[in-house]
Amino acid sequence: MKHFILLTVISMTLIFSTMACNVKAKNHSDAITIQTEKTDEEFSKEAKIQLAILLDTSSSMDGLINQAKARLWNIVNTLTTLKYKGKTPEIEIALYEYGNSGIPQSKNFIRQVTPLTSDLDLISEKLFALTTNGGSEYCGAVISEAVQSLEWGRREADMKLIYIAGNEPFTQGPVNYKKAVAKALDNEVYVNTILCGDWGDKAWQDAAVIGKGKYFTIDHNAAVRHYDTPYDDQISECNKQLNATYVGYGHVGTAKKQSQAVQDENAMQVSSSNYAERAVSKTKKAYNNSSWDLVDKVKEDKEVINKLQQTDLPKELQGKSKEEIVAFVAEKDKQRKAIQEEISALAIKRQAYIDEQMKKDADNKGDDLGEAINLSVCELAVKKGYVAENNK
C-alpha cells in the first residue's frame, strides 16, 4: 500500500521591467500579428521527458500521498534543469492509482488518473484529490496498462520513465511482472521501483534490474522537512502578482485560472516551502498554459487574436479593438517576465539560505522520496545525452 510522487515548489517577486513585445498591424484592425522578443529558453523539437507515476492507493498509504504532495514541485524544478542540446525538453507526467478497492476488480483495481500531460496544475489537482482505500495491489498489471495505454514518445532522445511505489508483494495479480517490465523495455521505457519499507521483497528489486531502472526503499511515513526562509513572504506576494498576468480565454479559461489559484492554496497547505517551490516552477518554460492563457498562447500562435470570437475573450477584453487586445496582452507579457526574473533571483537566495541551514542540522536527511526520484532521473538523463544546468 503506498502512494508516491514528488517535489516542492519555490516562488518569488515582482518588478515591472522593460521586456519587448512589439505589436505589428496588418491593415490595422483586420489582421494583427504580435511579434514577441525571442526567449532564451525554447522547447527542444528533439527531446521530451515523460514520467508515469504509479501510486498504490490502498489503505495505510496516506503518508506516501503526503510525501508526494510535498515533493511534486521540487521534482518538476529538478526536471527543468535538464537540457538537450541547449534546449528545454517538454515535460509530461501521467498518474495512475492501483490497489484501491473503490476501483472495480474487473479493472484490476487500476485507474488512469491522468494521461501523459504537460498541464502541471492538472497533475497537482488530481494528486491532491487522491484518497486511500483497502484493496489488492497488482504491480504487473498497472505497469502493463501504463505501457500500453500512454502515448509514449518515439524519438531517440525521449526519456521515458515509470515509477511505481507500493508496499505489497510485487508478484500479485494476473499479469506476470517480468513480462510487463520486459514489454516496457521493448518500448525504451525504463522501470523504477520504490518499496515503502525495508522488508526486502526481492521482486521489487528484480523488476528495476530487468527494467534498467533504479530500486529504492523509503520510509513513506517519514515527515517531510521544510525550511522557512526570510524570502518566503516576498515570494508569496510576487506569486499573487504573477497570477494577475494570466489572461484566460475560451470555454475553460475562467475555470483554469481559478484552478491555478486553488493549486497555490494546496501547495501552501503543505508548507510555505512547498508554495515557494511551486512559484519557482511557474517561472519555467515547462509551466505552459497556452490551452487557456492568452499570453502563453500568443507565443505559440501570433495570429490567435485574429481567430478568437468576442465570446472567447475574458470580460475585460470583450468589446475592445484588436489593437487594444494586442497592447493588453503585450503589457501582461512584459509584467510576467519581470516578475519571473525577480522570482528566479529570490529563488537563488532562498536556496542558499536553505543549504546553510541544512549544514547546521545534525540530521538533515528527512524523507528520501524526492531524492530517489531526482537522483534517478538525473542519472538516466546523463546517459541519454542531457545536461543538468543550474536552476536559475
What is the number of structural domains in the chain? 2
Looking at the fold, whether 356 and 258 belong to one and the same domain comes out as yes
pLDDT, greater one: 93 or 45: 93
Looking at the fold, whether 61 and 210 belong to one and the same domain comes out as yes
Q: Quick one: pLDDT at residue 104? A: 95
Q: Are strands 43-56 and 88-98 parallel, antiparallel or unpaired?
A: parallel
Looking at the fold, whether 283 and 370 belong to one and the same domain comes out as no
The domain of 73 spans 43-225+364-388
Q: Evaluate if residue 158 carries a pLDDT over 90.
A: yes
Closest by CA to 220, choosing from 343, 62, 341, is 62
Residue 12 placed within a domain:
no
**What's the chain's average pLDDT?**
87
For residues 298 and 23, is the Cβ–Cβ distance under 8 A?
no
Distance CA 296, CA 287 (A): 10
Q: pTM for the complete prediction?
A: 0.86
Burial of 251 (0-12, 13-18, 19+ CB in 10 A): exposed
Residue 26 placed within a domain:
no
Residue 15 placed within a domain:
no
Looking at the fold, whether 311 and 217 belong to one and the same domain comes out as no
Distance CA 239, CA 237 (A): 5
Phi, psi (deg, nearest 5) at residue 380: -70, -35
Distance CA 150, CA 92 (A): 11
Sign of CA dihedral 340, 343, 349, 353: negative
* pLDDT tens figures, 138-157: 999 999 999 999 999 999 99
Q: Quick one: pLDDT at residue 221? A: 87
Task: For the chain, give the number of residues.
Answer: 392
Looking at the fold, whether 210 and 234 belong to one and the same domain comes out as no
Looking at the fold, whether 183 and 63 belong to one and the same domain comes out as yes
Looking at the fold, whether 195 and 278 belong to one and the same domain comes out as no
Looking at the fold, whether 256 and 207 belong to one and the same domain comes out as no
Q: Quick one: pLDDT at residue 348? A: 95
Looking at the fold, whether 238 and 300 belong to one and the same domain comes out as yes
Residue 245 placed within a domain:
yes
Q: Which of 15-24, 129-138, 343-352 has the lowest mean pLDDT?
A: 15-24
Beta strand segments in 172-226, E: 189-196, 212-218
Q: Evaluate if residue 11 carries a pLDDT over 90.
A: no
